[in-house]
């Protein structure tokens, strides 16, 4: 089937490929992953960016461990989780693959959950205050590499969203960059949904400009975690280095029973 410039099969909308968990099978995962990679590659080409400059983070929240195992078998290595306890259960279930999997926490993190996250994860994208970063640094086991972290920024100014305000970002970024058991990699955002390519680009552009300003002040940040299933093309156009995609990889998610943040 021919592909559009956005990397989707011609004549297929973003939502037309969504499947329920029951419909998703391990045999379909390679096809779905390949389609997402095609979208990323096409978006990179349109933006004049090098192929391979954007990594795919498969968002596996509320998906069973078997779905992660199937995605691993199809070549995916980095997985994003929103709920700490659910993720810890999944990490334990897939312990035999631990050395070859990369686990990213992308959901809210409460201060009473920092120790297991510091011990079990490779990345945390959702650091939204200095206290959380300090606890992660103190609790990161010395035998593990530094925990890779991003600061979450509330670029849309939504009262319901977590994240640092842009004005407080420079001070917090400098403090987090100095913590010994962390490595500050960059910024993350979850902007308000927007319709249309240009409207989707605006908050991603704002995050890119914030990263550039921090680097101009002497920080060496290399990561923009932005873009999801519906807006990854706009995010790539504005410099995303990690796109967080769940639905386009796994299909529609089952509702979690009682997720714990």
Give the tens place of pLDDT for each residue, 197-252.
Answer: 999 999 999 999 999 999 999 999 999 999 999 999 999 999 999 999 999 999 87
- Which residue has tokens 């995303």? 240
The strand pair at 78-81 and 223-225 is best described as: unpaired
- The domain segmentation of the chain, as residue ranges, is 29-249
Q: E strands along the chain, which residues? A: 55-59, 78-81, 102-105, 123-127, 147-152, 182-188, 223-225, 242-245
- In contact, 123 and 150? CB cutoff 8 Å: yes
- Could you report the per-residue pLDDT of 68-127, keeping only the tens digit for each? 999 999 999 999 999 999 999 999 999 999 999 999 999 999 999 999 999 999 999 999
Class of the 29-249 domain?
A: alpha beta
What's the Cα-to-Cα distance from 178 to each of 131, 147, 171, 184, rounded to whole Å? Answer: 13, 13, 11, 9
| Model-wide pTM > 0.75 | yes
Q: Is the dihedral of CA 41, 45, 47, 51 positive or negative?
A: positive
């Amino acid at each position: 089937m021919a592909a559009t410039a956005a990397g989707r099969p011609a004549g297929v909308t973003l939502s037309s490929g969504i499947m329920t968990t029951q419909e998703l099978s391990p045999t379909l995962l390679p096809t779905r992953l390949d389609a997402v990679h095609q979208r990323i590659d096409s978006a990179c080409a349109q933006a004049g960016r090098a192929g391979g400059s954007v990594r795919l983070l498969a968002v596996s929240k509320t998906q069973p461990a078997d779905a992660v195992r199937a995605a691993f078998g199809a070549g995916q290595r980095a997985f994003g989780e929103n709920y700490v306890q659910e993720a810890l259960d999944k990490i334990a279930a897939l312990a035999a693959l631990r050395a070859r999997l990369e686990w990213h926490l992308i959901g809210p993190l409460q201060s009473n959950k920092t120790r297991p996250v510091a011990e079990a994860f490779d990345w945390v994208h959702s650091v939204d205050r200095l206290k959380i970063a300090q606890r992660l640094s103190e609790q990161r086991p010395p035998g593990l590499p530094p925990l890779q972290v991003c600061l979450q920024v509330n670029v849309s100014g939504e009262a319901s969203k977590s994240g640092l305000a842009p004005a407080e970002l420079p001070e917090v970024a400098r403090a987090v960059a100095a913590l010994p058991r962390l490595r500050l990699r960059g910024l993350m955002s979850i902007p308000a949904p927007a319709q249309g390519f240009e409207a989707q680009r605006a908050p991603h552009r704002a995050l890119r400009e914030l990263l550039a300003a921090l680097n101009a002040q002497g920080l060496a940040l290399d990561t923009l975690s932005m873009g999801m299933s519906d807006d990854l093309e706009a995010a790539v156009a504005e410099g995303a280095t990690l796109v967080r995609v769940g639905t386009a990889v796994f299909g529609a998610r089952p509702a979690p029973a009682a997720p714990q943040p």
